Homo-oligomer: A and B are copies of this chain.
Amino acid sequence: MRGRVPGQTGRMRDGPDISRIAALLGDPGRAAMLTALLSGKALTAGELAHQAGVTPATASGHLAQLAEAGLVRPWKQGRHRYFALDGPEVAGLLETLAGLAVGKGLTRTRTGPRDAALRECRVCYDHLAGARAVQLYSSLAGRGFLAVTPETVAVTAPGEAALAELGLDLAPWRARKRAFCRLCLDWSERRPHLGGALGAALLDFVLESGWAQRARNDRRVVFSPEGGAAFDAVFPAAESVTPASI
């Protein structure tokens, strides 16, 4: 950090400042907080401090930095201060980073039971991720309910009908200004799943129908035996969609 002459050495002058954001994610405490927020819930400063294993004083400093960089959005309510990830892009970055960490064998623990549950199903900001999410996506795509276009993913007419039959009304979700439907790469499965507003609607649907419950303290989404069976019945695993050079 010493002796670097600002404008003279090297040619690292242009382009986005990668290291600024990366340094923020590089502290284990801050990383733990952000990962906790990946559940999509807004958490209070105190809860985040607990997640990171630091005192409130330390956490407060961390959160101020994250907020200033725009990674996290604070929100005051009463004497609590809630924090949430500032947009799906931040969640996407965290997932990308997680994917690379897994790929390079950098995990914080040997695969345990909780880890297995995370791989099966978890919340990724505001939609489902993990094996269930990938199955859901490929089941819809395999039956022609989704049309993948270059720029986005769209629900086809049959898809709209099929979802409506399940009691899933897409109109209110479509109304929001955020991208209706996006693909998101799953770090544990290395295959795409649905994000965007449609992903959020489906998460909502799965929880509303009582098939699964969110864990209280982390990102897991736990299916009951009956719920899992119902899920498999409604979204049967598709035969792998062969890309078949057309």
Contacts and interface: CB of A to CB of B under 8 A. Distances in A.
Interface string A135-172: 00110010000111111101111000000000000000
Interface string A232-246: 000000000101111
Interface stretch (A86-94, A199-207, A222-230): A86-94
A25 interface: yes
Contacts of A12: 28, 31-32, 35, 51-53, 108
Interface in A69-89: 69-71, 89
B106 A17 contact: yes
Contacts of A245: 154-155
Nearest to A146: B150
Contacts of A141: 150
Contacts of A156: 246
Contact of A23 (B5, B23, B35, B243): B23
A46 to B, nearest CB: 12
Interface in A28-55: 28, 30-32, 34-35, 50-54
A217 B11 CA distance: 9
Residue among A13, A28, A100 with max Cβ neighbours from chain B (10 Å): A100
Contacts of A20: 101, 106
A103 B89 contact: yes
Q: How many copies does the complex hold?
A: 2
A31 B15 CA distance: 12
Nearest to A116: B14
Contact of A14 (B5, B109, B155): B109
Contacts of A4: 28, 53-54
Contacts of A92: 96
Interface of A: 4-5, 8-28, 30-32, 34-35, 50-54, 69-71, 89-90, 92-94, 96-109, 112, 114-115, 118, 137-138, 141, 146-152, 154-157, 187, 191-192, 217-218, 241, 243-246
Given A8-B53, A9-B54, A16-B187, 9 more contacts: A10-B53, A14-B109, A14-B112, A15-B107, A16-B98, A18-B97, A21-B106, A22-B23, A23-B27
